[in-house]
């Protein structure tokens, strides 16, 4: 919201005030051939490396490989969002990105919270096989 937007409202209350809709009725984000190919090539690389790391195990440290694989996944998700889903922070007046950020917060709370609670629940449980008489 800027002052120019307020000016437009006061000048032409009856006309089309949605700058995003002018001559672009469906609001469909356009991709380009170059964009799709860039996204595809990046995805191929970002997929091939984690599969190679796990299937061939060139690095014997499983924990390090695990972190690397997750890092590649995060980058690849971003690549898909930008090149395939055409995520634009300004699209639909910012509501798309707002809904996405809100969802990411909920996803993080749900997954991290679940793991945190369930891990502690597990760790604090008395192991069955250590109980006397079992």
Partner 1 sequence: MMDRAVFPEDVEFHPAEEPHHPEGSSTMLGFWIYLMSDCLIFAVLFAVHAVFGASYAAGPAPKDIFELELVAINTAVLLLSSITFGFAMLRMHMGDKKGTLIWLGITGVFGVIFLAVEIYEFTHLISIGATPQRSAFLSSFFTLVGTHGLHVTFGTIWLVTMMVQVWKFGLIEANQRRLSCLSMFWHFLDVIWIGVFTFVYLLGVLQ
Ramachandran angles phi, psi of 28, nearest 5°? -75, 125
The site that binds partner 1 (CB under 8 A) totals a number of residues, namely: 57
CA angle 23, 27, 28 (to 5 degrees): 120
**Sites for partner 1 among residues 24-43 (CB under 8 A):** 25-33, 36-37, 39-40, 43
Calculate the dihedral angle through the C-alpha atoms of 5, 6, 7, 9, rounding to the nearest 10 degrees: 90
Query: In the 8-state DSSP scheme, what is residue 1?
Result: -
Q: Which of 4, 89, 90, 95 binds partner 1 (CB under 8 A)?
A: 95
Does residue number 60 form part of the binding site for partner 1 (CB under 8 A)? no
Question: What distances in angstroms separate CA 89 from CA 56, 76, 92, 94, 96, one per listed residue?
Answer: 39, 19, 9, 6, 7
Give the residues lining the site for partner 1 (CB under 8 A): 3, 6, 9-10, 13-14, 16-18, 21, 25-33, 36-37, 39-40, 43-44, 47, 50-51, 54-55, 62, 65-66, 69-70, 72-73, 76-77, 80-81, 84-85, 92, 95-96, 99-100, 102-103, 106-107, 110-111, 114-115, 118
């Amino acid at each position: 919201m800027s002052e120019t937007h307020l000016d437009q409202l006061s000048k032409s209350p009856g006309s089309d005030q949605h700058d995003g809709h002018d001559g672009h009725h469906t609001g469909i984000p356009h991709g380009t051939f170059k964009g799709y190919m860039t996204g595809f090539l990046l995805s191929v690389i970002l997929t091939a490396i984690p599969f190679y790391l796990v299937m061939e195990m060139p690095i014997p440290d499983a924990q390090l490989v695990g972190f690397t694989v997750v890092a590649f996944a995060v980058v690849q998700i971003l690549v898909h969002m930008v090149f395939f889903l055409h995520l634009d922070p300004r699209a639909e007046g910012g509501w798309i990105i707002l809904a996405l950020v809100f969802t990411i917060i909920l996803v993080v709370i749900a997954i991290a919270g679940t793991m945190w609670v369930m891990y502690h629940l597990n760790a604090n449980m008395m192991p069955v096989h250590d109980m006397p008489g079992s």
